[in-house]
Each structure stands twice: as C-alpha cells, then as structure tokens.
Amino acid sequence: ENRILIAQQLDAMTDMMEEWVRGSACLDKKYRMQLARIQFEGKERGLTADQVHVFQDENGHLYIRGMVCTKWGGAVPVKNYIRAVSDAMGQNFCAAKDTRALVTRMPEEIVLYEEARYFVLPGIAAKKKDDSVMSGDSFLTRTMDGGRYVAAISDGMGSGIAANRESEMVVELLDKFLEAGFRKET
C-alpha cells in the first residue's frame, strides 16, 4: 500500500512539472491596448509597471503578472495598482493571497487574478457521538488564488481522540498538497 501511495504521489508531481512546463496561455497580443493602459494608469498613481503580461489559466480565467515599483520612492498601497489594472482591463482584479500591502522602490512581481463573481461564506456545525470524548471528523475550507474554493470533509475514521488525530492528519495533508499546487484530480 505504501509503494502504491508513493507511486501515486510521484505521478502527481510529474503532472505538476508537466503543467509548469506547458505554462498558461499568454494573451499579450490580444490585450496590448489594455497593457499600454496599465502602464498609463500605473504612472497616474505613482507606480512603474514593467514586464506586465496577461495570461489565461486552464479554467479560462485571466491573471496578470508584472514587476511593479514606485516612481519616486516611498511606498504606495498595492490597491492603487489593483485599481490601475482593473480600470485598464475593464473588470475587477484582486491580488494573490501572499501579496505585500505596499509597493516600494524595489521592483517586485505582483500577480493579480480576475476577481471571482461569487464568494463563499462557510459555516460549520459539529456534534460528537453520544458516548464519545470527541468527534473523529475533520474538515477544511480554503480560498485559493484565482477565485477557487475548496471544501473537504474527512469522515469515516470512527470517533474519539485517535480517530480525530487521523482525520486531522488527512485534512492537513490535503491542505499541504493544495498549497504546493497539486491539481484537484490528484
């Protein structure tokens, strides 16, 4: 069983590497007017945006990568760049989750994703088995970059402390896989 699991993990890593090599579709030619407008809108907000490119992911959603810094030093909120891109593209964009709040004189890559049309407001309710110390179930909810949302439930481990530990390990492993970029099929 362990060999099969390891083989599946290696297959998943191979899939990830192949996906990275293929990359996303670059749409710079299609959006060249908007890219020029991003430069202009950025300058109006005290920013310099270089090497800005428009990409489309496997789900057809747009994302934009660019090297951004301030024109005159100091610090400018990233939301100014987000507004510049959104105005230039004619639709709303949001920053990747690990993006810094301020743009400084040092150029830094900023990735913006097409804003999702919907959002999820999760809620949970849990109850342990009557004669048990604790529930053996665990769950995960996670907002991903690009507007994707993941919800997972680990059930069927039994009840009690040992079942809860195993269930939490499964959910934590899934969370780490998602963070590392594993695809949903994996």
pLDDT at 91: 93
**Residue ranges in the chain modelled with pLDDT below 50:** none
pLDDT at 8: 81
pLDDT at 146: 66
pLDDT at 20: 62
pLDDT at 66: 94
pLDDT at 111: 93
Long-range contacts of 33-38 (CB under 8 A, 24+ apart): 34/88, 34/89, 34/90, 35/88, 37/87, 37/88, 38/64, 38/66, 38/84, 38/85, 38/88, 38/89
pLDDT at 54: 94
Amino acid at 172: E
pLDDT at 19: 63
pLDDT at 46: 93
pLDDT at 98: 83
- Residue 42 to residue 75: CA distance in whole angstroms: 14
pLDDT at 18: 67
